[in-house]
Amino acid sequence: MDVLRPTLININGRMYRRNTIKEEHYEEEDCSFMGPTESEDATDETCDTHFIEQTDKGYRCAIDVPSVLYKYIIGKKGETRKRLEFDTKTSISIPKQGVEGQIVITGSYKSAVSSAVTRVEVLVENFRKKQPFTHFLSFPLNDSKIQEGFLTFKDEVLQQCSQDHRVEGSIFQNPAKLHLTVGTLALLNGTEVRKACEHLQECERFIRDITGGKPLQLEVTGIEYMNDDPAMVDVLYAKVNIKDRSDKLQVIADRLVEHFVSTGLMTREWDRVKLHGTVMNTLFRKDSTVEDTGGTGRQATSEREAFDARNILKKFGAYCFGGFELNTVLLSQRYSTDSTGYYSSAGSINFS
């Protein structure tokens, strides 16, 4: 580890240094985990993200952990919990699998409980990153005018370019689910969904400051591809701009990500959000339920069948899908559909 640039972990908006530890091969299905080495001092870590209360028998701290992550704290045959308890001289009580509740850590010394809390949080944070995302912040592009323009685009592409390699109807986006993804979240229980909704509401003020309390007038014009070779394309997307050519939409997206990263509910992937409205994606070829969120999806890149987009780009590079008013950002639920055909929404805020 570079001592001048140690690996940092964001837990509840606070940054912790990750100490180098000895690890064994880990397979997720058996929940085994090698904890800190014997040489580590169990009292060298402090915790100020949770309240540690004094009791008649010592100290106690209760922390919220989604039930889906219990197994990583328990470990194979309970080894991880036993190791944590031995190293920190504490007792760790975990609810039954599938029962939402709090993990309670007790011990004779406050420093020992604090150390155990921090180590549990590091475990939780590490394995949270391995969970598939459940929700995402989105700007909907499913306005009726844009859907109409998209369907015309699809018809014309299939009429004029269907002879090109692997260009077929199955790789087009569902028009009712056209959107811009701002960022993804793994919300693992109802409590975390409610917290995300609350944090989204906290963004309303700065968004209205940026928009002046008015909807943004957008135009969806032009298409672009993701990779370097237009003859081997996996994602083709529509370009979205504000009619007055300002960068307000980009600023809002970046501020949203900044806020959610600070809460610990989102991981920053890029310096700036790449706003793109996917219109064609080879992930849809074998699974029409896959959402495009800027990631690789469930299929490995090697399993995707790229298409030749050269003629599409030549003939439709400046295609106009239409214009509309954007007045909302949504906390959308993955693998869901509402009455309009768009993703079900767990929360939302308006620009005006």
Question: Which of 46-55, 158-167, 298-307 is predicted most confidently?
Answer: 158-167
Q: Where does CATH 3.30.1370.10 sit in the chain? A: 51-131
pLDDT number for residue 72: 96
As given in the structure block, the two tokens for residue 20 are 């180098």
Among 3.10.450.50, 3.30.70.260, 3.30.1370.10, 3.90.25.10, name the CATH number for the domain at 51-131.
Answer: 3.30.1370.10
pLDDT number for residue 293: 56
Mean pLDDT for 146-152 is 98
- Judged against a pLDDT cut of 50, whether residue 22 lies above it is answered with no
| Whole-number Å distance between alpha carbons of 26 and 24 | 6
Of 342, 238, 220, the C-alpha closest to 291 is 342
Mean pLDDT for 88-100 is 95
**Which residues fall within 8 angstroms of residue 192, CB to CB, at 6 or more apart?**
66, 265
Q: Where does CATH 3.90.1140.10 sit in the chain? A: 135-283+305-350
- The CATH architecture that domain 135-283+305-350 belongs to is Alpha-Beta Complex (3.90)
- Type of residue at 314: K
pLDDT number for residue 104: 98
Tell me the residue ranges of DSSP E strands in the chain: 8-11, 14-17, 53-55, 58-65, 90-93, 101-107, 135-140, 179-185, 216-225, 235-242, 277-281, 320-326, 328-333, 345-350
Residues 280-331: tens digit of each pLDDT: 999 999 776 666 555 434 444 557 899 999 999 999 999 999 999 999 999 9
Residues 169-225: tens digit of each pLDDT: 999 999 999 999 999 999 999 999 999 999 999 999 999 999 999 999 999 999 999
pLDDT number for residue 6: 64
Question: Which of 16-20, 268-272, 330-334 is predicted most confidently?
Answer: 330-334
pLDDT number for residue 203: 98
In 52-179, which ranges are continuous DSSP H helix?
70-74, 79-88, 110-128, 144-161
Mean pLDDT for 327-341 is 97
**pTM of the shown model:** 0.80
Mean pLDDT of the chain: 88
Mean pLDDT for 152-170 is 97
